[in-house]
Amino acid sequence: MFRKTKNILILLSLIVLLAIALVSLGIAYAGGIRGIGLLGVCFFFTGGVIVVLAQLIPAGILLSSFMGTAFSSFRRGEMPIRAT
């Protein structure tokens, strides 16, 4: 991978992580948590969101590829299955 592309991907991942952390901080603050506990809850929410995304993204890819293979045909002479 090129150095410039790698730097862009690192920057984008840091921006996504920062955005998730700030939203988590806002949710915790709006929920009434103050002081040092706010940081703990922020990191807890951020870690939870990252774990959920790490599970949902591959599951979505698998589901979409399954749907694509279930309703399409690899042979030219065959008709795909109709979902009606």
User: pLDDT per residue over 27-41, tens digit each?
Assistant: 888 888 888 888 888
Residue 52 above 70 pLDDT?
yes
Token digits of residue 79:
């008709």
Residue 64 above 90 pLDDT?
no
Q: Which helix (H) or strand (E) holds 26?
A: helix 3-30
**Residue ranges per domain, the chain?**
3-70
Residue 82 above 70 pLDDT?
no
